Structure 1
Amino acid sequence: MKRTEMNLPELVRCVVDAHRQEPGPLLVVLQDLQDRLGYIDPEAIPLVAAELNLSRADVHGVVTFYRDFRSQPPGRTTVRVCRAEACKSVGAEELLARLEQTFGVRVGQTTPDGSMTLDQVFCLGNCALGPAAQVNGRLYGRLDHDRLAGMVQREAS
C-alpha cells in the first residue's frame, strides 16, 4: 500500500488524471485509490463520481458489488483463505472455522485491535497445494491451522 501526503480531493484528482484516457476508467481508478489508501474512503465516492461525470450511485454500486473493494481500512495483516472445491476437499472449511475461532472474527471482519482482516476467495490457482491462502498478498499452500495462525501472528506483530 502506498502512502500519500495529499489530501483526499487532491489524491482523487491525481488518480483520475492518471487514468482518465483509459476506456471505462472507473475500476482502475478505484483499484489505484485502494492501493494507495488500503480501502475506498466513502468520502472519495462523490469525488470520483464528479471527476468521471458519473452518479454517486454508479460509483457506490461498483464499490459495493466487488468484494475486493473495502470501505474500511484493513488490518495490518490480510488473510484470504481459498474456499474453492479443491481446497474445500482438503480442509479449507475447517481451517477457516478455526481461524475465525482463534482470532475472534468472521469472514469479512477485522480484529478489534486492527491486527488482522480475515477474508475469503474462491480460487487462488493453487489447487494442487490446498488448502491455500494469501497472507498480505503472498500465496501459501498445504496449510494447517497452526502454520497459518503462526504466520498471521508473526505478520501482525
Structure 2
Amino acid sequence: MNSRNGEAAFDARVIDEILARLADQPGALMPVLHAVNDRVGYIPAEAVPVIAHALNLSRAEVHGVISFYHDFRTQRPGRKIIRVCRAESCQAMGAVALANHIQARLGINFGQTSDNGDFTLEPVYCLGNCACSPAIVVGDDIYGRVNPDRFDEILSTVTSSRLVR
C-alpha cells in the first residue's frame, strides 16, 4: 500500500500484459498508453521506462507523448471525475459561475484531486449537450442545466452513494 487512502499501488503485471498484447502493433505507443490509462486510471511514472524499453523508444519520447495529450493522466484520479464544460454555449449560460462554485465547494481547481481522493475536477471543451447548457459529467453520468444549487444536489447524491467507482 503506497498511495493515497491506503489504495494499493498499481500492479506492474497490468503493464506487462498490455505490452504483451499491443507492443508488436505498428505505432503501438498510443494504443499502449490508452490501454494503461484506461486500466490503471493513469500512467504511473514507473511504467514509462518499461514502456519505452518494450517499444524501443527513449523515456523522453514516451514522456513527450504523455505530456502532449491531455487525455493521459500521470497521477491517480479521484474516485469520481467531475468534468465541467467550458465551451461557449455553456459559458454563455452560466458555466463560469458554476465552475467557480464547484471549485469552492470541492476546495480544488481544475486538474486537481481532492485531498481525500474522492474527486478530480477536469475542464472539457464540449460535451455535445449545448441545448442543456451548462453541462457537467460526474463519473459516467451527464447532467444539463446545472446551476450551483443543482450541483450541490448532485454532489449530495454522489457522496451519499459512497462514491462507488
Per the normalisation by structure 2, the TM-score is: 0.85
1:140 matched to 2:143? The reply is yes
Match of 1:7 in 2: 11
What letter corresponds to residue 112 of structure 2 in structure 1?
A: Q
Q: Tell me the distance in 2 between the aligned counterparts of 1:129 and 1:64.
A: 32
Trace 1:91-102 onto structure 2 (pairs within 5 A). 91-102=94-105
Give the drift of 1:81: 0.3
Match of 2:3 in 1: none
Residues 82 and 133 in structure 1, CA contact (< 8 A), matched pair in contact too: yes
What letter corresponds to residue 7 of structure 1 in structure 2?
A: D
Match of 1:3 in 2: none
1:17 matched to 2:29? The reply is no
Q: Tell me the distance in 2 between the aligned counterparts of 1:59 and 1:153.
A: 40
Q: Tell me the distance in 2 between the aligned counterparts of 1:119 and 1:109.
A: 8
Give the drift of 1:150: 2.7
What letter corresponds to residue 40 of structure 1 in structure 2?
A: I
Trace 1:1-150 onto structure 2 (pairs within 5 A). 7-8=11-12, 10-150=13-153
Q: Which runs of 5+ in 1 are unaligned?
A: 1-5
Q: Deviations over 1:60-103 (max 9, x none)?
A: 11111112211111111110101011111101111001101111
Q: Tell me the distance in 2 between the aligned counterparts of 1:131 and 1:71.
A: 28
Q: Tell me the distance in 2 between the aligned counterparts of 1:26 and 1:137.
A: 26
Give the drift of 1:21: 4.2
Residues 23 and 54 in structure 2, CA contact (< 8 A), matched pair in contact too: no
Q: Deviations over 1:84-140 (max 9, x none)?
A: 111111011110011011111011111111111111011111111111111112222
The DSSP-based 3-state class of the residue aligned with 2:128 is coil
Q: What is the total number of aligned residue pairs between the two structures?
A: 153
Residue identity over aligned pairs, in percent, reads 43
The DSSP-based 3-state class of the residue aligned with 2:16 is helix
Per the normalisation by structure 1, the TM-score is: 0.89
